[in-house]
Structure 1
Amino acid sequence: MVVLQQAPLFRLFKLRIKASERAAFARVGEQNLLKSITREPGTLAMYTGHLDLNGVENRVLELYRDQASYEIHAKSPQFQVFKTVAGQAVVEQSVTVLTPILLLTSGPALRIMAPTKYLVVLTEFTVKADQLRAFQSLLTAEMQTAMTTEPGLVTGYLGQSTADPQQLIVFDLYENETAYRQHYHTDHFGAFHQASRSLIVQQATVEVRPDVLVNQGPLTYERE
């Protein structure tokens, strides 16, 4: 178990790519992630996936121990190859830099590639400014309970946008869709939903079909 004492570098990318470049983009992306997670101890986790059947709408989540670890990754040969292909494939890109609030990962180190039954669920909350502290307290408690009581939940990350502090993003990784559906019928999630809904301005949830899921194994971090 890696227990982080300092906040890691945490980012979410939204990428739209050319459908014609999907195969090449996926191929070099897979090599980038697999080589990076084995060669770079400071690269803690990298997850890629797509929302649509054609694989045009993509999501990438990255977690690095610190800025220096990211710089090592950015200079790596495998990333340079990926960067070249992505330069041709990506037509639209946005990045959300996140301040980590709670990071929880259980189980062995992951080296998962599509096709897989694993499922990523991304939820973006916009929370009332004067209710942020209350909402974060409710959500972190719910996530901690879920991670300790639901064996099908592998990873739960919570981050706050550095550009818009009212925006919180939750990244959940489930072993399969059944585990995801069961989560929504638990008592602890029901209690969270009831207690938090008046604190939320807007909420959007998307299911992401994984392409590559890699991490260094069990990890925990909680912002003080």
Structure 2
Amino acid sequence: MQPADCLVSQAAGGNSLQHQVIPHKAPAHCGVGAVAQFSIGTDNPVVDSRIMQAFRSIHLPRRRSCDQNPRRTQMMMTTRAFMAGMGAAVLGLCTAPPVLAQTSTRSLIRWAELDIDPAQLASFKAAAQALKEAVLRTEPGVAVYHAVSEADNPGRIHVLEMYDDAEVYQAHLQQPHFRDFRATTDKMVTGRLLHDVVAVRLGAKARLSASPLVRIAKLEIDPAQLQAYEAAVSEEIDDSIRLEPGVLTIYAVASADRRSQLRFFEIYADEAAYRQHLESPHFKKYVETTKPMIASRRLFETRPLFLGLRQR
């Protein structure tokens, strides 16, 4: 049991709120005051903001005369207000929308598949890491810059890039660090496929874990059922990001010239989070709903080279 002046409440998804009453020394002619301090520990900035707004609206009452038991006075003054604030905070948790990194209609998304000479793979990875750091440091219009290698074929690299618009992408191609990277690595690359893709649903939390697990998938959908599939997968992505702390990213994109060809880039906090996701009710519902809609499916285990997110 927590001490009476330190109340901890668990909210949905393991998020925690901590409230502590700190005595406020006031002159003898004033009532005993109290200051409430709050700390928020959620993975959802929308939820954090709503909780802070709820608690900032609380006005702690002050007694007009001093009590001989200031600690009891503090507890009487703050418990009712705190519980009211907690109710507002829980309401915010329940009603806050998922953190979705939906791009605008002008956003440009590229998915590249690169085959690297195995003898030069280490050199390529070092050059790619340096490029990522330069891109995120100097190009604010680049929202996502991820690269992974297939676990069963380490020389096959998948690169997912998201730009605010086509102008940002064209400017990226002219950056000195990108030109240096191409000059350095062109002879290391034995095959290159660039895919123009469009967003189906892009779900992501604001932060990644220290050792994430990344899976990619390629699906072919029955064109006659494509609209129903997109609705089902969008619902599943929203539920996964909103309800599962360990689901960090699910990007679903489609080929720009063939919408029935979909690709998925999924990031989980760890292996356990991925396994938990597979057992979730919303994922099982998605599997059952979409089974007759999927013509083919290929799943890939990967090893991250780097995962780059623009700082919000």
Q: TM-score scaled to structure 1, two decimals?
A: 0.89
Match of 1:197 among 291, 306, 311: 291
- Whether the 8 Å contact between 1:8 and 1:100 is mirrored in structure 2 is no
Residue 123 (structure 1) aligns with: 217
Within the alignment, does 1:133 sit opposite 2:227 as a pair? yes
Deviation at residue 213 of structure 1 after TM alignment:
0.6
Which runs of no fewer than 5 residues in structure 1 stay unpaired? Answer: 219-224
Deviations 1:118-140 (A, max 9, x none): 12111111011110000000000
Whole-angstrom CA distance in 2 between matches of 1:159 and 1:14 = 15
Match of 1:86 among 185, 192, 208: 185
Aligned amino acid, residue 208 of structure 1: T
Sequence identity of aligned pairs in percent?
A: 24
Count of paired positions: 213
Deviation at residue 52 of structure 1 after TM alignment:
3.4
Whole-angstrom CA distance in 2 between matches of 1:25 and 1:90 = 9
- Whether the 8 Å contact between 1:16 and 1:56 is mirrored in structure 2 is yes
Whole-angstrom CA distance in 2 between matches of 1:7 and 1:151 = 30
Within the alignment, does 1:18 sit opposite 2:146 as a pair? no
- Whether the 8 Å contact between 2:106 and 2:166 is mirrored in structure 1 is no
Residue 302 (structure 2) aligns with: 208
Aligned amino acid, residue 112 of structure 2: F
Residues 7 and 208 of structure 1, relative CA distance in 2, 3 Å threshold: farther
Deviation at residue 6 of structure 1 after TM alignment:
2.3
Q: Counting strand residues as a fraction of each chain, which structure ranks higher? A: 1
Whole-angstrom CA distance in 1 between matches of 2:124 and 2:159 = 13
Residue 222 (structure 1) aligns with: none
Alignment of 1:11-160 (within 5 A): 11-52=110-151, 55-108=154-207, 117-160=211-254
Residues 4 and 10 of structure 1, relative CA distance in 2, 3 Å threshold: closer
Whole-angstrom CA distance in 2 between matches of 1:40 and 1:182 = 36
Q: For 1:56, what is the secondary structure of its paired residue?
A: strand
Deviation at residue 163 of structure 1 after TM alignment:
2.6
Whole-angstrom CA distance in 2 between matches of 1:4 and 1:195 = 26
Across the aligned residues of Structure 1 and Structure 2, the Cα RMSD in angstroms comes to 1.8
Whole-angstrom CA distance in 2 between matches of 1:24 and 1:142 = 39
Match of 2:276 among 182, 195, 203: 182
Residue 221 (structure 1) aligns with: none
Deviations 1:154-180 (A, max 9, x none): 111111101322101111111112111
Question: Which has the higher relative contact order, 1 or 2, with Cα contacts under 8 A spaced 6 or more apart?
Answer: 1
Q: TM-score scaled to structure 2, two decimals?
A: 0.65
- Whether the 8 Å contact between 1:154 and 1:173 is mirrored in structure 2 is yes
Whole-angstrom CA distance in 1 between matches of 2:278 and 2:164 = 31
Q: For 2:136, what is the secondary structure of its paired residue?
A: helix
Whole-angstrom CA distance in 2 between matches of 1:129 and 1:195 = 16
Whole-angstrom CA distance in 2 between matches of 1:140 and 1:146 = 10
More displaced, 59-68 or 160-169? 160-169
Whole-angstrom CA distance in 2 between matches of 1:83 and 1:176 = 33
Which runs of no fewer than 5 residues in structure 2 stay unpaired? Answer: 1-44, 46-100
